[in-house]
Structure 1
Amino acid sequence: MANEHKIDINKRESLGKKGVKQLRREGMIPGIYYSPNSESSTPIVISQGDFHEAVKSGARIFNISVGEKKQNVLFKSVQYHPVTDQVLHIDLYGIRMDRAVNIKIPVHLIGDPIGVTEEGGVISQATTEIEIICLPGDIPEFVETDISGLALGDAINVGIIQLDEKITLVTPEDTVLASVTHAMKEIEPVVVEDEDEAFMDEEGEVPAEGEGDSEGESRDKPAEGGDASKEKDAGSE
C-alpha cells in the first residue's frame, strides 16, 4: 500500500514572469494542479519547505485541498535549476483511487556481485527507475533486485524484476538494468622526445649551423705553425 502525505498548497495569483520570479525569491514553488479528468487546471504555489518534507516522507500519494475540496495527487513533473538544484516548478495530477495510473518508481540493486568482489570488475546500473501501471494504492516506494550472482561480463535486463501481480511493467523487458564490466585502466602518457630537443646544447639552445663542425675540426688540427717548426728543425739537422 502506498504511503500518503498531506501538503499545503494555495491558489497562485501571480501568473506573469515577474510574479513567478518574486515567488521563488520568497522560497515558494509555482506549479499547476490538473484535475483527475484533465479538464481543468489551477495555478498553485507550495513552499520549498513543504515540498522537501513531502519528498522525505517517502509517500507517492499526496493529499491536498483545492478550494474546499480534498484531492489525492501525484507529483507528475518536477523541474530543477540545472546548477543550484532549486525546485523551479511542479505539476500535480489529481487521481482517483479506483483508476490505474502510469508512474515511474526507483530500482534498488542489492547484494555484491561476484564479478566485483572476486574478479575485479565494476557494477554499472544503466536503468535507475522503471515505469509501471497500477492502482494508486498499490504503488510501491521502490523495487529491489538481487545482483550478487553477476559475474564479470554479465548483464541483466529489466524483465527479471519481480513485481506484484497487481502491477504491470511498461518499460520494455529487454532494457538493460545493470552489468559488471572491466575496470578502466589508467594509461600513462608516453613522452616522445622532440628531434629539436635532441640537438639542443646544455644551455637549451640549438647550435648555429656549422658551429658544431667547426669545433670538431679545431680539435683535429695541429697547433698553428706546428708543421713549419718541424720542417725548420729537420733542415737544421
Structure 2
Amino acid sequence: MPQKTLTLNATTRTETGKKAANLRLIGLIPAVIYGHGLETKILTLVELELEKTLQQISESDLVDLVIDNEKPIKVLFHDISRDPLTNKFVHIDFYQVRMDEKIKTEIALNFMGESGAVKDLGAVLIKTLDSIEIECLPGDLISHLDVDLNALNQLGTIIRAKDLKIPATLTLLTDPETPIALAEEPKKEEILTAAPSPKELVPAEVAEAEAEKENATEEIKK
C-alpha cells in the first residue's frame, strides 16, 4: 500500500565547496536535486527537519520537497551521505520524479515470522539481502516488502526473490532465483581422536622385537 507523502522544506543556495561545508556548523545540510530532463539545483536543508522526516519514512518513499515556498516537487532520496565517525549528515541527493514515468529503485525487505527449521531443528537462519530492485510508477511505490520466515520449515529450505508477494504494480528486477533467506543445516562438530603413539605406528613384528629387548634388559639388571 502506498505510503502517505511527507513534506520537507528546502532553500536554494549559492555556496559551494568549503563555504557549503561551513553550513553544517549552523545546522544546515547541503543538498542537490536532479531528474530526467530537469535542471539541477543546489539546495540547503535544515538538519533537524531532515532527521525528523527520515525517522517517519523509508528511503524508497516519495517526499514533497518545497523549495523556497513554491509548489511541492515529488522527489526520492537518491543518496544520503553521512560522516562515518559521527553519523551526521554530510550531503543529500534528491531525484525528482515524473508521476507518469517509471523509475527503478530499491525496496527494503521486512523479515517477519519465525522459521520452524531454526526453532525446532537447530537450523541457522541466513539472510542474504535486505532489499530488492523493482520498477514502477512513482505513485505505486511502497515502503517495504514482507518476507515470511514461516516458510523455512525444513533444513535447507530457501526463500527466493520469486517467492515474495510483490504487488502487480511493481516489476521485479532482481534475479528471481536470488536467495533472500535460507535455513542452513548446522555444521557437525568433528570428534578429534588422540594421535597414535610411535609404537602404534610400527609393524607388529617390530613391536614384538622391541618388547623382547626390553624384557632381556630387565633380566640382565636382575
Q: Same fold (TM over 0.5)?
A: yes
Aligned partner of residue 105 in structure 1, secondary structure: strand
In structure 2, give the amino acid aligned to 1:10: T
What's 2:169 paired with?
A: 166
For 1:30 and 1:183, the matched residues in 2 are separated by 49
More moved, 83-92 vs 126-135: 83-92
**CA shift at 1:52, angstroms?**
1.5
Contact 1:157 1:176 in 2 (8 A): yes
Equivalent position SS for 1:7: strand
Q: Which residue of 2 aligns with 1:235?
A: none
Q: Which has the greater radius of gyration?
A: 1
The normalised TM-score by structure 2 is 0.76
Aligned ranges 1:199-218 → 2 under 5 Å = none
* Structure 1 alignment gaps of length 5 or more: 188-237
Q: Which amino acid aligns with 1:29?
A: I
CA distance, structure 1, for counterparts of residue 173 and residue 112 of structure 2: 22
Identity of aligned pairs, percent?
A: 26
**Residue number in structure 2 paired with 1:55:** 54
Secondary structure, aligned partner of 2:147: strand
Letter in 2 for 1:172: D
Measured in 2, the distance between the counterparts of 1:184 and 1:85 equals: 37
In 2, distance between residues paired with 1:159 and 1:66? 40
Q: How many residues align?
A: 185
Matching residue of 1:75: 77
In the superposition, the TM-score normalised over structure 1's length comes to: 0.71
Q: Which residue of 2 aligns with 1:213?
A: none
Corresponding residue of 1:179: 182
CA contact (8 A) 1:2 1:136 kept: no
The 3 A distance-change label for structure 1 pair 182 and 82 is: farther
Deviation per CA, 1:64-92, whole angstroms, max 9, x where unpaired? 23353431111111112222222211111
Contact 1:99 1:136 in 2 (8 A): yes
Per the alignment, residue 43 of structure 1 pairs with 42
SS of match in other structure, 2:54: helix
Alignment-derived partner of residue 154 in structure 1: 157
Amino acid at match of 1:40: E
Q: 1:2 to 1:96 in 2, by over 3 A?
A: farther
User: 1:86-165 alignment to 2 at 5 Å?
Assistant: 86-150=88-152, 151-165=154-168
Counterpart of 1:43 in 2: which secondary structure? strand
Distance in 1 (alpha carbons) for counterparts of 2:32 and 2:84: 21
**Cα gap change, 1:185 to 1:87, in 2 (>3 Å):** farther
Measure the CA separation in 2 of the matches of 1:130 and 1:84: 28
The one-letter code sitting in structure 1 at the alignment partner of 2:136 is C
- For residue 53 of structure 2, give the secondary structure of its aligned residue in structure 1: helix
Q: How far apart, CA to CA, are the structure 2 residues paired with 1:22 and 1:184?
A: 54
1:65 aligns to what SS in structure 2?
strand
In the alignment, the residues of structure 2 paired with residue 149 and residue 162 of structure 1 have an alpha-carbon distance, to the nearest angstrom, of: 13
Shift of 1:96: 1.7
